[in-house]
Amino acid sequence: MSRTASQVFDVVIIGAGAAGMMCGIEAGRRGRRVLILEKARKTGQKILISGGGRCNFTNMFAAPDRFLSQNRHFCKSALRQFTQTDFIRMVEAHSIAYHEKKLGQLFCDGSASQITEMLETACEDVNVAIWCDAGADKVKKKGELFEISVGNQVITTRSVVIASGGLSIPKMGANDFAYRVAAAFDLELATPRPGLVPLTFEMKDMKRFADLAGVSADVDIRCNKTHFRENLLFTHRGLSGPAILQISSFWQLGQSIFIDFLPDLDLESHLKELRRRQPKAQIVKILSEYLASRLIPKLLGTLVSVPEMGNCSDQVIGKIAASLKQVEITPNGSEGYRKAEVTVGGVSTNELSSKTMEAKKAPGLYFIGEAVDVTGFLGGYNFQWAWSSGYVAGQYA
Ligand code: FDA
């Protein structure tokens, strides 16, 4: 299709990421005349880098309780209208081989580019035009229609779908376009913040845990009332790994996180039992069965020099257990949008219909994907939200 936009489109989608392309496919299937505008030189850039290049494209256990939002019920309708099983069927219909890595997380056996190719082919099959290198500058309402400015062109459309993502990874072009459009139409935002992001140590912990970069542990991690059982990784600046990424979406500046480094062990009872059976045993030796040896003295602190188990009082055993099972850390921040996999917050769900993703105050204007205040846990949930919300808007736009 010529890139001179003299005709009126039925649907213009801004952003050719996961949500935008899924929406395009569905609107195109309905016979709508669809154009997708993409600022970057190619489509689906985040899909291509996701899951270490293999794209964790959904999760077998996707369910509303795996998503954060100011309204935790909002995602239910879209997730029901287009489920993980629907997306898996699509992947299978395109003969893309996949596997479960862990915890229901599904990855391509080959490459993430198989997913972008699948979406591009499906768009082509239903005559959806995709213009790359075509960043939208503004969206305005003109009578019953919308006008979108792209450089010196103005594109006219009956419906417009904002699928331009959130703020994570600015060096890939992430920007606040969706929030600016929301503001122009007087729609509220849930304050955006980085999610699924490494956290950084304050000076005291930086000194305490110096030299541990690269050490990992299987932990139970808690913040407020939420907890996750996953792997934690020490970095040069703080903490990362799936456990930290997961809890980071629930953490706010000033709050502490609590880490249990021995989640499978009732350490206090275990040590009391050892005191009886092996009074000569040394605490460091006992713990080295469970934890990286570099980590043990850092967690024990001065308790590292306690005498053999036989001489430990109940009180000392209690302190040892607490030093490993209730480690309190108060991060002084996160690595920010530079490293965040997602943006928590976004266009407020109060402003949108959960059934269609259309703005209640601005008929014909839709928001989908990461631009909206719905954020999934780590593990393929964010793509599932992109597919589900994109599918839904594609039925109505
Ligand atoms: P997305 O950001 O993908 O797409 C928005 C598009 O809009 C972009 O192509 C952008 O260029 C374009 N755009 C922006 N402004 C524009 C404008 N003004 N005009 C035109 N185009 C514009 N999730 C998951 O479920 N499994 C995983 O394995 C991973 N892995 C992962 C790794 C890394 C490193 C990151 C950063 C993120 C993930 N994620 C993930 C999260 C996942 O990538 C994210 O949730 C989805 O890509 C969101 O899809 P959207 O389509 O909403 O936005």
DSSP 99-166: EE-STTEEEESS-THHHHHHHHHHHHHTT-EEESS----EEEEETTEEEEEETTEEEEEEEEEE----
Give me ligand 1 centre to Cα 170, in Å: 11
Atom of ligand 1 nearest to the CA of 166: 2
pLDDT band at 301 (very low <50, low <70, confident <90, very high): very high
Measured by CA distance, the residue closest to atom 6 of ligand 1 is 15
The answer on pLDDT for 33 being more than 70 is yes
28 phi and psi, to 5 degrees? -60, -40
CATH placement of domain 8-194+343-396 = 3.50.50.60
pLDDT value of position 196: 98
Give me ligand 1 centre to Cα 17, in Å: 6
Looking at CATH, the fold of the domain delimited by 267-325 is given as: Helicase, Ruva Protein; domain 3 (1.10.8)
- Tell me which DSSP letter residue 377 carries: P
Measured by CA distance, the residue closest to atom 36 of ligand 1 is 341
pLDDT value of position 305: 87
pLDDT tens digits, one per residue of 313-352: 999 999 999 999 999 999 999 999 999 999 999 999 999 9
Amino acid at 73: H
Look up the pTM and report it.
Answer: 0.96
d(CA 250, CA 270): 32
Give me ligand 1 centre to Cα 19, in Å: 8
Nearest Cα to Cα of residue 368 among 359, 379, 377, 378:
359
Residues with CB under 6 A from ligand 1: 14-20, 37-40, 45-46, 49-51, 55-56, 135-136, 163-165, 168-169, 173, 175, 177, 341-342, 369-370, 380-383, 386
d(CA 324, CA 265): 11
Atom of ligand 1 nearest to the CA of 21: 51
Give me ligand 1 centre to Cα 183, in Å: 21
Task: Report the mean per-residue pLDDT for the chain.
Answer: 96
- Tell me which DSSP letter residue 56 carries: E
Distances (CA, A) of 22 to 36, 55, 338, 353: 11, 16, 26, 18
Give me ligand 1 centre to Cα 368, in Å: 11
**Complex ipTM:** 0.99
Tell me whether the CATH fold assigned to 199-262+329-334 matches the one assigned to 267-325: no
pLDDT tens digits, one per residue of 112-162: 999 999 999 999 999 999 999 999 999 999 999 999 999 999 999 999 999
Nearest Cα to Cα of residue 395 among 67, 36, 82:
82
The answer on pLDDT for 5 being more than 80 is no
Orientation of helix 267-277 relative to helix 314-325, angle to 10°: 140
Quick one: 199-262+329-334 is in which CATH superfamily? Translation factors (2.40.30.10)
Paired residues of 102 in beta bridges: none
Count the neighbouring beta carbons within 10 Å of the beta carbon of residue 138.
13
Give me ligand 1 centre to Cα 44, in Å: 7
Atom of ligand 1 nearest to the CA of 370: 52
Measured by CA distance, the residue closest to atom 31 of ligand 1 is 50
pLDDT value of position 70: 98
Give me ligand 1 centre to Cα 262, in Å: 36
Whether the Cβ atoms of residue 71 and residue 191 lie closer than 8 Å to each other: no
Q: Name the residue ranges covered by the structural domains of the chain.
A: 8-194+343-396, 199-262+329-334, 267-325
Average pLDDT over residues 234-241: 97
Whether the Cβ atoms of residue 355 and residue 366 lie closer than 8 Å to each other: no
Mutate to test the pocket of ligand 1, among 164, 197, 377, 381 (most ligand atoms within 8 A of CB): 164
Mutate to test the pocket of ligand 1, among 25, 38, 48, 50 (most ligand atoms within 8 A of CB): 50
Measured by CA distance, the residue closest to atom 32 of ligand 1 is 50
pLDDT value of position 210: 83
Give me ligand 1 centre to Cα 346, in Å: 14
Give me ligand 1 centre to Cα 32, in Å: 24
Atom of ligand 1 nearest to the CA of 40: 11
The answer on pLDDT for 37 being more than 70 is yes
pLDDT value of position 7: 79
Average pLDDT over residues 223-240: 96
pLDDT value of position 190: 98
Give me ligand 1 centre to Cα 168, in Å: 8
227 phi and psi, to 5 degrees? -140, 155
